[in-house]
Amino acid sequence: MLHARRLPELIAVALASILFGYLLSLARLPLPWMIGPMLVTAAASILGHAPALPASGRIAGQVVVAATVGLYFTPGAVELLAGQAGLMVVAALSAILVGLLSALVLTKLSGIGYVTASLCCVPGGPLEMAEIAGRSGGDPGIVAFAHILRLSMLMLVIPPIVTTLDGTARAPVSMAAATGTAGAALLLAIAVAAGLALRLLRFTTPFFLGPLAAGAAATALQLPVAAPPWFVLAAAQILLGMFLGCMFRREMIRSSPRLVLALLLSTAMLALFTACVALALGWLGGTPWQTMILATAPGGITEMALTAKLLGQQVALVTAYHILRIFVVLLLVPPAFPLILRLGRRFAGQSAQDS
């Protein structure tokens, strides 16, 4: 619950976030309504003035964005996904392998143990990977911070680079519904219900997967749904950007600048390797390189899907690649840890447990 005395601080950061997002939109930068608020809120957090955001704000942002992304799962998009199933599995397994290789670099540069380093570098969700670290003898705080730093860094880097290199204007990729108030209200109502249902079933990230499934199902069933107006989607991005920025903590950055630098370098290595995988899979599957870079990038689903929407790429394909990768990571990494530790001891000279 938000305390009354923290309300002025929250309002000030929110207004600054909106203003900076608007300025970035005037500059025609990609994802301005997410990047701007994230930078403003991260700066406030690092300076010791992190606003107290209610959890309902993050949930609202996830519901709006995920439900909108679900509308791109048209019959044609689903047919395309079926033909990419094998490549999607290869991409997910490659992400784990590349993450483990990047962990060797992180271990050498930062001095942290291989358990923590591997969970820092294998691209999954911050909360989920931190939970695995707690069960496996790693440092959950470092793991969560590493993934937050990775998501933030790649959100700042990948969309501008892909947008700049793309250099061509395209018509938006087909969506199942146009904009409309009644249809948007129906879509969001279904999305909220789906999110609540998955939360009761204890799914991971229920308010992303539930609304995403709801949007896709509404598309398949040809329900009279519509995409939310642009300002609603912008507001959702502002909320998500602010929440991501709030995850930065001054004490973590001040306590170990060597670790921060090592995390940035290992993230750059991870992004470079996955880009090579993307180009190879794009060549094999005949998929545009822009789509594959976004589909295999070790960034967040939301950011990559929105960038695909901006560039007129296959939003459903990009989203499906990311969802499958997260599922494979959460399924395979915990039981594979005995093997991961043996490899870590062999190549990094570390003990089985972190010090």
Query: What confidence score (pLDDT) does residue 136 get?
Result: 74
Residue 46 · residue 9 · CB < 8 Å: no
Six-digit token pair at 255?
């306590």
The rounded radius of gyration (Å) of the Cα atoms in the chain is 20
CA distance linking residue 281 with residue 292, whole number of Å: 7
Six-digit token pair at 40?
């403003």
Closest to 142 in 3D by CA, of 266, 263, 46: 263
Residue 291 · residue 318 · CB < 8 Å: yes
CA distance linking residue 12 with residue 84, whole number of Å: 46
CA distance linking residue 213 with residue 201, whole number of Å: 15
Closest to 153 in 3D by CA, of 270, 237, 306: 270
* Residues in Cβ contact with 231 at an 8 Å cutoff, skipping those fewer than 6 apart: none
Query: What confidence score (pLDDT) does residue 176 get?
Result: 55
List helix spans (H) across 111-225. 114-121, 126-136, 140-166, 181-200, 206-220
For the chain, the structural domain boundaries read 66-168+191-225+248-348
Query: What confidence score (pLDDT) does residue 190 get?
Result: 95
Percentages of the chain per state (helix, strand, coil), in multiples of 5? 75, 0, 25
Query: What confidence score (pLDDT) does residue 351 get?
Result: 41
Query: What confidence score (pLDDT) does residue 278 get?
Result: 94
Phi-psi region of 202 (alpha: psi -120 to 50; beta: other; left: phi over 0): left
pLDDT averaged over 10-residue windows placed end to end, the chain, 355 residues: 70 93 88 90 85 85 91 83 89 91 89 86 80 78 86 87 73 56 92 95 84 90 89 92 82 79 92 94 91 90 85 88 85 73 60 43
Claim: this prediction has a pTM higher than 0.85 = no
